[in-house]
């Protein structure tokens, strides 16, 4: 199994924030009236960006990675294969949930085995399996969700109150539904529920996914996933509502978002072995905001319900 098979199948972590300069590459038309939907895309290229987690990439890729991880790491690799890895790459993702501005940020993943203890990243956070019962395993996770800061590209949305980052902690259950369907593959389902522990929105987020992972010839790997993400009233209101004060400041209409399914997403991960210890991985995903989240003026007027993301990483096992 190649390095990034485990990198992307078990984790898609982002580095801690750090200050640095940034450059921007933009293709954008004049915004005109704030009530007119925007049809332009702005691409920001950042190094050490402070908002590593502001994206649907983290949410959808986490769902896919969780299933793929179970598909490929249930059995320990042979002793002569290095157990630890480091990976680094870049991802392109929306500036904030619902934005049609895009940025490129760095991301990475790591796995360290010390005796019987495995420490690894999973998504923009950490996860640990605590128990197994037949084909089902249970565990806990902690994950960082990005907010909306005051230096985003959209000049109108910038007039709204900022939203702090949040940490969500909770538990998950993952079940193997089928194995060896078309070869060395596995189908799994994953459900996770977490709550904000940072007093940012004091609500809950849940994700459920159906994933397929397959080991391909020559050490390559493919994972496909479909997912749903739902949020509570508190999260919906904080990220997608426009109150009277915000409407007066920005010119956007007043809007109250409520809880429900935020988006439906699909993700594909492909890992290409380069050598025994090196590989390259591509992540491509799409999610669509629905319901109140698509109707929010931040999305319907200033952004887009269609959220795309792409990542590329190089990893090494040692």
The answer to whether position 24 is within a domain reads: no
Q: How far is Cα 307 from Cα 9, in angstroms, rounded to an integer? A: 22
115 or 262, greater pLDDT: 262
- DSSP 8-state code for residue 33: S
- pLDDT tens, residue by residue, 92-136: 888 888 999 998 888 777 777 766 656 667 667 778 888 889 999
Q: How far is Cα 122 from Cα 45, in angstroms, rounded to an integer? A: 24
**Count of structural domains, the chain:** 1
| E strand segments, the chain | 22-27, 41-46, 85-94, 101-114, 117-120, 125-133, 136-145, 166-179, 185-196, 204-215, 221-231, 260-273, 278-289, 306-317
Max mean pLDDT among 68-82, 94-108, 176-190 falls in: 176-190
pLDDT recorded at residue 128? 80
pLDDT recorded at residue 132? 84
Q: How far is Cα 300 from Cα 62, in angstroms, rounded to an integer? A: 26
Residue 233 clears pLDDT 50, i.e. is over it: yes
Task: Identify the CA nearest to 306 among candidates 26, 38, 45.
Answer: 38
Q: How far is Cα 156 from Cα 146, in angstroms, rounded to an integer? A: 19
- pLDDT tens, residue by residue, 33-63: 444 444 433 444 333 333 333 333 333 333 3
Q: Helices marked H in the chain — which ranges?
A: 3-10, 56-73, 233-240, 244-250, 292-295, 297-300
Residue 317 clears pLDDT 90, i.e. is over it: no
Residue 68 clears pLDDT 70, i.e. is over it: no
What residues contact 275, with CB distance under 8 A and at least 6 apart? none
The answer to whether position 52 is within a domain reads: no
Instruction: Flag the least confident range among 75-84, 161-170, 231-240.
Output: 75-84
Instruction: Flag the least confident range among 140-149, 182-191, 260-269.
Output: 140-149
Contact 194, 170 (CB under 8 A): yes
Q: Residue 298 is encoded by which pair of tokens?
A: 């931040």
The answer to whether position 163 is within a domain reads: yes
- pLDDT tens, residue by residue, 274-298: 988 898 888 899 999 999 999 999 9
Cα–Cα separations (whole angstroms), residue 198 to 97, 146, 212, 256: 19, 12, 33, 23
CATH of the domain at 145: 2.40.160.40
Contact 93, 132 (CB under 8 A): no
The pTM for the full model equals 0.73
The answer to whether position 305 is within a domain reads: yes
Task: Identify the CA nearest to 299 among candidates 26, 56, 124.
Answer: 56
The answer to whether position 80 is within a domain reads: no
The answer to whether position 60 is within a domain reads: no
Contact 70, 129 (CB under 8 A): no
pLDDT recorded at residue 22? 39
**Residue 301 belongs to domain spanning:** 85-317
Read off φ and ψ for residue 40, nearest 5 degrees.
-115, 165
pLDDT level of residue 247 (50, 70, 90 thresholds) = very high
Contact 67, 60 (CB under 8 A): no
**CB-based burial label for 196 (10 Å; 0-12, 13-18, 19+):** buried
Q: Residue 250 is encoded by which pair of tokens?
A: 């920005």
The answer to whether position 55 is within a domain reads: no
What residues contact 91, with CB distance under 8 A and at least 6 apart? 55, 57, 104, 105, 106, 107, 283, 309, 310, 311, 312
Contact 14, 73 (CB under 8 A): no
Check the CA dihedral 169-185-74-86 and report its sign: negative
The answer to whether position 49 is within a domain reads: no
- DSSP 8-state code for residue 148: B
């Amino acid at each position: 199994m190649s390095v990034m098979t485990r990198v992307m199948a078990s984790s898609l972590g982002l580095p801690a924030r750090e200050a640095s300069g940034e450059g921007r590459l933009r293709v954008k038309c004049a915004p005109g009236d704030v009530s007119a939907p925007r049809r332009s895309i702005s691409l920001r290229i950042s190094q050490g960006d402070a908002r590593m987690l502001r994206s649907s990439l983290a949410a959808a890729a986490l769902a896919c990675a969780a299933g793929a991880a179970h598909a490929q790491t249930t059995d320990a690799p042979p002793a002569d294969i290095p157990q630890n890895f480091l990976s680094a790459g870049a991802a392109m993702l929306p500036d904030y949930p619902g934005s049609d501005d895009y940025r490129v940020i760095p991301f990475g993943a790591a796995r360290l085995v010390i005796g019987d203890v495995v420490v690894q990243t999973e998504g923009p956070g950490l996860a640990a399996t605590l128990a197994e019962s037949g084909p089902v395993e249970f565990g806990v996770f902690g994950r960082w969700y990005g907010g909306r800061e005051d230096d985003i590209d959209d000049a109108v949305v910038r007039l709204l109150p900022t939203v702090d980052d949040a940490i969500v902690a909770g538990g998950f259950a993952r079940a193997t539904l089928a194995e060896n369907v078309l070869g060395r593959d596995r189908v799994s389902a994953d459900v996770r529920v977490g709550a904000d522990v940072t007093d940012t929105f004091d609500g809950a987020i849940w994700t459920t996914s159906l994933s397929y992972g397959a080991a391909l010839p020559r050490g390559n790997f493919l994972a496909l996933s479909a997912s749903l993400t739902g949020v509570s009233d508190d999260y919906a209101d904080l990220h997608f509502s426009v109150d009277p004060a915000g409407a007066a400041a920005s010119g956007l209409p007043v809007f109250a978002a409520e809880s429900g399914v935020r988006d439906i997403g699909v993700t594909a991960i492909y890992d290409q072995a380069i050598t025994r210890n090196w590989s390259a991985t591509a992540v491509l995903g799409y999610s669509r905001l629905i319901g109140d989240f698509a109707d929010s003026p931040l999305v319907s007027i200033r952004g887009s319900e269609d959220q795309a993301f792409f990542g590329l990483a190089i990893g090494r096992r040692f």
